[in-house]
A and B are shown apart, each in its own frame.
Chain A
């Protein structure tokens, strides 16, 4: 992929590094799943931890049922209606439940958000190996991490 590449709709195609930077900035995403072959969207709070998307599911919830070793889509976006600008990042991947005690302990420090908590829960992660992103409107130069 070349820098400044645009797709057929004139949207800027974002590089993986920029997609990950954007995923790191927000904590609300949407999981796209199929339930009985039908598509469904479920909003979820998440954190990006070491290039993986990590979120909680509570036992017995729709999200819980739909993210057991399933291929899911994960989407994050930010849209600004006045200027018609925005971006979106899409990840497709297999969900994996985090069960290893040391991994869970490490994730505890990552402070995975929890808004509607009750009872038992699972920690689920999605790899970001398959990631794509688009930006619309006037592109800002990316703020590089660690830049002076």
Chain B
């Protein structure tokens, strides 16, 4: 039984399927509210359970401070078929430090391999508070 928005015909993707889609990708977009306006960064990521893990250097993302509210998005669209989906995760940033030894060890074993250069010594988890997904087009 499809869960559809009656107004737009857009199908809602359930949480498990959203997590499957998140597990199957490695580049997403992170949005932070920097000085009141949103800014978007493409990031390489991996999943740690339900948390999104990425690496970064000091800069705009880390400057939002610990436990900053952020948004993460992945999508896939097919222009020919006019189909596509997107998954949006809302949650909080948390930097993984050696103080949480078990998480630190587990997260550092993830193959988060940024395509961009830079040391990227800060490992950050985005712990989801809300995961939503939508699909358009025939299925």
Taking Cβ atoms with an 8 Å cutoff, the residues of A that contact B are 8-11, 27-28, 30, 32-34, 37-41, 43, 58, 60-61, 71-73, 75, 77, 79, 81, 84-86, 88, 90, 92, 115-116, 118-119, 136-137
Nearest A residue to B64 via CB reads A39
Q: Flag if B33 contacts A38 (CB, 8 Å).
A: yes
Interface residues of B in 93-136 (CB under 8 A from A): 115-118, 136
The contact sample of 9 A-B pairs, CB cut-off 8 A, is A30-B40, A30-B73, A32-B31, A38-B71, A40-B71, A86-B115, A116-B10, A118-B9, A137-B115
CB distance from B12 to the nearest CB of A (A): 13
Q: What B residues does A10 contact at CB under 8 A?
A: 116-118
B residues less than 8 Å from A39 (CB atoms): 31-33, 38, 69-71
Q: Which residues of B contact A115 (CB under 8 A)?
A: 82, 84, 136-137
Asked if B27 and A32 sit within 8 Å, CB to CB, the answer is: no
Cα distance, A84 to B36, chains bound together (Å): 32
A112 to B136, CA, bound (A): 17
What count of chain B residues pass the 8 Å CB interface test?
36
Q: Looking across the interface, which residue of chain B has its beta carbon closest to that of A26?
A: B79
The answer, yes or no, to whether B48 is at the interface (CB within 8 Å) is no
Determine the distance from Cα of A11 to Cα of B57 in the docked complex, in whole angstroms: 14
Task: Give how many A-B residue pairs fall within 8 Å (CB-CB).
Answer: 107
Which secondary structure dominates where chain A touches chain B? strand
**Residue of A with least CB distance to B38:** A32
Residue of A8, A32, A58, A88 ringed by the most chain B CB atoms within 10 A: A32
State how many angstroms separate the Cβ of A135 from the closest Cβ of chain B: 11
Q: Are A37 and B33 in contact (CB under 8 A)?
A: yes
Interface contact A41-B10, CB-CB below 8 Å:
no
Q: Is the CB of A11 within 8 A of B116?
A: yes
Shortest beta-carbon distance, A117 to chain B, in Å? 8
Question: A32 to B39, Cβ gap below 8 A?
Answer: yes
Question: What separation, in Å, do the CA atoms of A40 and B39 have in the docked complex?
Answer: 10
- Establish whether residues B40 and A73, one from each chain, have CB atoms under 8 Å apart when the complex forms: yes
In the bound assembly, the distance between CA atoms of A72 and B33 in angstroms comes to 10
Q: Is the Cβ of A41 less than 8 Å from the Cβ of B88?
A: yes
- B56, chain A: closest CB distance, angstroms: 10
Q: Are B42 and A79 neighbours in the complex by a CB distance under 8 Å?
A: yes
- Complex A-B, nearest 4 residue pairs according to Cβ-Cβ distance, in ascending order: A10-B117, A32-B38, A41-B73, A75-B40
Contact A34 B8 (CB under 8 A): no
Whether the Cβ atoms of B40 and A116 lie closer than 8 Å is no
The yes or no answer to B75 lying at the interface (CB within 8 A) is yes
CA distance A61 to B7 in the complex (A): 10
A34-B37, A72-B38, A92-B37 known; 6 new pairs, CB 8 Å cut-off, are: A9-B116, A11-B116, A30-B75, A116-B8, A116-B10, A137-B115
